[in-house]
Amino acid sequence: MRTGPLQAGERITLTDPKGRRHSVVLEVGRTFHTTKGGISHDELIGGPEGVVVRSVGGMQFLALRPLLNEFSVTMPRGAAVVYPKDAAQILVAADIFPGARVLEAGVGSGALSLYLLRAIGPAGTLYSYERREDFAAVARRNVTSFLGAEHPAWQVRVGDLVQTIGAEPVDRVVLDMLAPWDCVEAVARVLVPGGVVCCYVATTTQLGRVVDTFRAHGSFTEPEATETTVRGWHAEGLAIRPAHSSTGHTGFLVTTRRLAPGVQAPQRKRRPAPGAYGPDYTGPRPRNLPPHPADAEPGA
């Protein structure tokens, strides 16, 4: 994150008295127009952040550099972003640490990449895979815009993960894509024993399939699936109440850990309910699940 005087070309946040935020990229000679008159960018360029500027019409605005959670939801997008509440859970659930070697697939607009880069620091490495070159370009611009320079620990690789994955061992894997189950075998080859995989998916159908795939693979611990909601609170004098709105469902997280080569996951003690895997189920069947009658050989 940038420090020091505000510079032309960087993004700031102007907040009005009602708490409404406006994301502005500073440019020499430009003016930010409001219903209460304009604010000259030149008043801010070269000065400190945390100042109050007044529009021509007399309205006051607080000028600050955006925090990472603010920047990630206001930056230009090529694809949907991972929201701050989920990014925070990913960093903890996947145990991202300084110096970690992290593989990320599904860069999107670069929001999650920024959180991962901050967590691993300059001593770590982030291998980011993205199928679309246009999304990768947007992500590069957003990361550079927020940091003020390219991050030395970041390697962006354009291509399908399964087809282009490198041979470098990694400590952590974060998958934010439509079909993460297609990548389980590929990431299992490069993830070190004890390493963590964290998948971010949007629907219950995706959730069920990725969990079943990890179980069927047999080289991972029992997957854990979670969902996070955030609710704000209003506190003013004796008026203490929940906010009128909250951040509800955005996605599910599935986390699991890699076992040592040749080691199989312990048998599950709790069996799925009868009918959990019906005759029409075509996905991978966990190895510890008793055979379904529909799987029997004809005439057996």
Sorted by sequence, the CB contacts under 8 Å of residue 254 that are 6+ apart come out as 198, 199, 201, 207, 210, 211, 214, 223, 224, 225
Return the amino acid letter for 264: Q
Sorted by sequence, the CB contacts under 8 Å of residue 298 that are 6+ apart come out as none
112 is in an annotated binding site: yes
Q: With b meaning 16 or more CB within 10 Å and e meaning fewer, what string describes 91-111?
A: bebbebeeebbbbbbbbbbbb
Kind plus residue range of the DSSP H or E element containing 128: strand 125-130
109 is in an annotated binding site: yes
Query: Is residue 235 classed as helix, strand or coil in its secondary structure?
Result: strand
Please spell the DSSP secondary structure of 146-167, one letter per residue. HHSS--TTEEEEES-HHHH--S
246 is in an annotated binding site: no
130 is in an annotated binding site: yes
176 is in an annotated binding site: yes
Query: Is residue 31 classed as helix, strand or coil in its secondary structure?
Result: strand
- Which sign, positive or negative, has the C-alpha torsion 88, 92, 98, 99? negative
> Strand runs (DSSP E) across 41-118, as ranges?
51-54, 60-64, 101-105
> Strand runs (DSSP E) across 176-284, as ranges?
191-201, 224-227, 230-236, 239-247, 252-257
Tell me the C-alpha to C-alpha distance, in Å, between residue 63 and each of 30, 113, 231.
16, 26, 26
> What are the binding residues?
109-112, 130, 160, 176
> What are the binding residues for S-adenosyl-L-methionine?
109-112, 130, 160, 176
